[in-house]
Amino acid sequence: MESIDSPPAPRDVLIVGGGIAGLASAVGLSRAGASVTVVEQEPDFHEVGAGLELAPNGTRVLAEWGLLEEMESLGVRPRALVIKDAIDGRVLTRQELGADFERRYGGPYLVAHRSDLLNVLLRAAERAGVTLITNEKIDRVETQHGRALATAASGNVYEAQLVIGADGLGSTLRGVLSDDVPVASGFVAYRGTCRMSEVDIDADLDNVVAFIGPGCHFVQYPIRKDLDQHGQLLNQVAVFQSPAFLRGETEWGLPGEVDAAFATCAEQIRHALGYVPRDRHWLMYDREPIDTWVEGRLLLLGDAAHPMLQYLAQGACQSIEDARVLQATVTDAVFGGSNHDRWIDAAQTFNSIRAPHTARVQRTARQWGESWHVDGIGRTLRNMLFSSRDLSDHHYTDWLYAQV
Amino acid sequence: MESIDSPPAPRDVLIVGGGIAGLASAVGLSRAGASVTVVEQEPDFHEVGAGLELAPNGTRVLAEWGLLEEMESLGVRPRALVIKDAIDGRVLTRQELGADFERRYGGPYLVAHRSDLLNVLLRAAERAGVTLITNEKIDRVETQHGRALATAASGNVYEAQLVIGADGLGSTLRGVLSDDVPVASGFVAYRGTCRMSEVDIDADLDNVVAFIGPGCHFVQYPIRKDLDQHGQLLNQVAVFQSPAFLRGETEWGLPGEVDAAFATCAEQIRHALGYVPRDRHWLMYDREPIDTWVEGRLLLLGDAAHPMLQYLAQGACQSIEDARVLQATVTDAVFGGSNHDRWIDAAQTFNSIRAPHTARVQRTARQWGESWHVDGIGRTLRNMLFSSRDLSDHHYTDWLYAQV
């Protein structure tokens, strides 16, 4: 990657944002034959946070791009997704992730460190000849004379056939298309990893386990195998509804709220909670779905287009799906025929394919999260529903994981 | 029935309260061989309200007592219990009440006018030689020298082996055993009947239909067949959570709240609601279960012992079950052996058989009602749970309807 001092040469596509969505798009577009530049405002390409889940709709694409083997070597294949009640610890339902699951959905389910996925994509982009620029913040994108012009805070102007806004939840470029703002869920996440050899947590290292409780949940899964002979790395995520948020306060989700939020949970959870760092936390936001992601030669994707709550663990996967679908529409519209200037068609086709689906993922993620956090009779009904689920029933996952 | 001017002759059993529980007990105890007097504080024996449901656990007992044929001639056998969502009108689940159901539970499911059941029991009590006294309010029951003495407001003192407190939700006699008070649910019922020939309601006359909605529900079923050639009598019950109750006001559930409570319901319900009389309403109360119903020679049963919310439609049935079980324990303990003074044993055995079961019915009725009235994600979960119910699964009804 490089910093630049002089205005860069024009590329087919300029991607604004070097997170998972931006880098995955760089990989996909390179494979479509496009020349790509990625600009990132930070001094380097990195991911904050701890673990991340990759369902088959993401790993299928990694496999096609030749990246799955590397990703698998860094991550873990859990045996099952297990949902337990956080108060009594009872198993409510599980999704086996073995051979039948992989056959059905055409890829494995992996869990990994967020930075490992980012680095796999970054190396793939480098190998594909993507120009990677850091310390460059794009403030403005305009479409003039059939070209997109992106102006950076540095004064540099980038020229491209298409600019992709992959600048995340707080996207600057989304402002061109919508005046909506992120929606606070009132839930906050504390997360972190610990080496199993250094803690006395009685965690299930075979599975992704989500303990779901009234106004809170707690997730545990291993994300690295036998790391440095020090045993496995356990990822833990503690999420709860902030009482300060409910009181309408502007400062919410602070560390003083953590222990009380899990006070009614099983002892196992309260003990493990002691190992979750309190020095950082993430306020959980999403946005309302919007239909239109294209304005002139600007296209939004990833969290900039469809930020979602984390409950379906689909943030990374939907960004990777975006990249794969954009690869296909660009291949068809731009490089497939005689007309070499059909970038807008490609972006609009991409928009029409992806927006209805990601809107459903955004809405379902909210509802799925709500169902995790119910109390009283809602909890009773939820537990009865989940417990009575036929484990061979795939209608909860087919729409999300199956081949598009 | 008679009013009395002089102290009555001693009987084996004095029953305080001439509602369904009191009269059913009079029938059951007569069949056990006991001499019985029933005293009612009102000028006559009557039931207020409209329709009533009789599940097999009630009709089985009526059949054994030779009363089912008469009851059936007055009531209706619905084909099914149907639960629909009150907002979109969608069927959520149903319980067929046909031959399989009757075979499984040993009796039919009937719906009838409350007064018809009361009159059937009253006539049976008369035929059995039960002494029926009205206008007599019992204030006090004491156990002295191995006899129960019940003192009326009139000054009359009744002497018996056993006094049964069947004086309902607001029981005076329960005060001997517990200082608890009725628990307001915050829900109020408006109910009434109309002749189908006189209204333009598009009701399903084959079934008992419960439309369940956020904070409200609406029930419809036919209770008399081709009455006077004027078509069927339709029973309607509208129940809702009172906003005034939630605000902590002492006057709640007033008619001004009715229409707003059903504003989000399907048009079909809002139209039918127009035919529900507003001149009377019933505030819905129950009580916490208590373990002990026996004090000396006083025994509570029916609503005095275990008042329940109406959601399982088991008020009458549980009182009839009480009567049948008491008939059995009195037969065994009192008239079965050589010792003719084992009334307290019979009462205590009855208590130990019935209290755990009716406590479960009380608790389940509350929870069942809660599940009807959920909104938001709770409604989504409830509808998914109900809709996914296997119609041949009997675990929701076996514990309640099956032979004890």
Q: Are residues A388 and A355 in the same domain?
A: no
The verdict on B386 and B333 lying in the same domain is no
Residue A220 lies in a domain: yes
Alpha-carbon torsion, ordered B377, B378, B379, B382, to 10 deg: 120
Mean pLDDT of B58-65: 98
Structure-block tokens of residue B47? 């039931």
Percent of chain B with pLDDT over 70: 95
Please give the Cα distance from A213 to A266 (Å, whole number). 10
- Assess whether B187 and B335 both reside in one domain: no
What tens digit of pLDDT does each residue of B243-265 get?
999 999 999 999 999 999 999 99
Does the residue B85 lie in any domain?
Answer: no
Told to judge if B311 belongs to the known catalytic residues of this protein, a careful annotator would answer no
The verdict on B378 touching A (C-beta cutoff 8 Å) is: yes
Answer whether residue A104 shows pLDDT above 60: yes
Same domain assignment for residues B381 and B262: yes
Spatial CA neighbour of A62 closest among A97, A109, A96: A109
Assign A11 a pLDDT band (cuts: 50, 70, 90): confident
A37 with A169, same domain: the answer is yes
Tell me if B228 is assigned to some domain. Answer: yes
What are the pLDDT digits (tens) for A37-54? 999 999 999 887 778 999
Say yes or no: A246 and A365 in one domain.
Answer: no
Residues A296 and A250 in one domain: no
Domain holding A394: CATH number?
Answer: 3.30.9.30
Residue A23 has pLDDT above 80, yes or no: yes
Q: In Å, how far is A388's CA from the nearest CA of chain B?
A: 8
A169 touches B at CB < 8 Å: no
One domain for residues B384 and B332: no
Mean pLDDT over the full length of chain A: 93
Q: With 90 as the cut, is the pLDDT of residue B229 above it?
A: no
Residue of B nearest to A393 (CA): B388
- 3-state class (DSSP) for residue B301: coil
Cβ-based contacts of B382 with chain A (< 8 Å): 381
3-class SS of residue B32? helix
User: Can you tell me the mean pLDDT for B45-74?
Assistant: 93
Q: How many domains does chain A have?
A: 2
CA distance A33 to A329: 12
**What's the one-letter identity of residue A376?**
G
Does A374 touch chain B if contact means CB atoms closer than 8 Å? yes
Same domain, A246 and A363: no
Q: How confident is the model at residue B230 (pLDDT cuts 50, 70, 90)?
A: low
pLDDT(B6) > 70: no
The SS3 of residue A158 is strand
Sign of CA pseudo-dihedral A330, A333, A338, A343: negative
Average pLDDT over residues A294-312: 97
Contacts of A382 in chain B (CB under 8 A): 381
Tell me whether residue A91 is in a domain: no
Instruction: Give the per-residue pLDDT at B36.
Output: 97
Determine the residue of chain A that is closest to B375 in CA distance: A378
Question: Does residue A8 have a pLDDT over 90?
Answer: no
B11: enclosing H helix or E strand = strand B11-16
Chain A residue with the nearest C-alpha to that of B381: A382
Per residue in B337-385, pLDDT tens? 656 569 999 999 999 999 999 999 999 999 999 999 999 999 999 999 9
Q: Are residues B263 and B364 in the same domain?
A: no
Over residues B81-95, mean pLDDT: 97
Calpha distance A256→B213 (Å, rounded): 39
Single out the catalytic residue among A105, A190, A221, A311: A221
Task: Note the pLDDT of residue B339.
Answer: 60
> What pLDDT, on a 0 to 100 scale, did the predictor assign at position A311?
95
In a domain, A84, yes or no: no
Domain span at A23: 11-57+69-76+115-181+289-370
Band (A335; pLDDT cuts 50, 70, 90):
confident
Structure pTM?
0.86
- Where b means 16+ CB within 10 Å and e means fewer, A201-215 reads bebbbebbbbbbbbb
pLDDT attached to residue B337: 63
CB-CB: which of A367, A370, A385 is closest to B385?
A: A385
Interface contact B381, partner A, CB < 8 A: yes
Query: Please, which residues 23-62 of chain A have a Cβ atom closer than 8 Å to chain B?
Result: none
**How many other CB atoms are there within 10 angstroms of residue B129's CB atom?**
10
Task: Determine the residue of chain A that is closest to B379 in CA distance.
Answer: A378
Query: Do B139 and B195 fall within a single domain?
Result: no
Domain annotation covers residue A18: yes
Structural domain contains residue B34: yes
Residue B333 lies in a domain: yes
Instruction: Please check the confidence at residue A230 and state whether its pLDDT lies above 70.
Output: no
Q: Are residues A202 and A152 located together in one domain of the fold? A: no
Catalytic, out of B190, B221, B285, B311? B221
Average pLDDT over residues A6-20: 86
- Give the percent of chain B with pLDDT over 90: 84
Report the CATH number at residue A141. Answer: 3.50.50.60
Contact in structure between A94 and A223 (CB atoms under 8 Å): no
Query: Which of A129-138, B4-13, B119-128, B288-297 has the weakest average pLDDT?
Result: B4-13
B385-398 pLDDT, tens digit each: 999 998 888 988 99
Residue A191 in contact with residue A204, Cβ under 8 Å? no
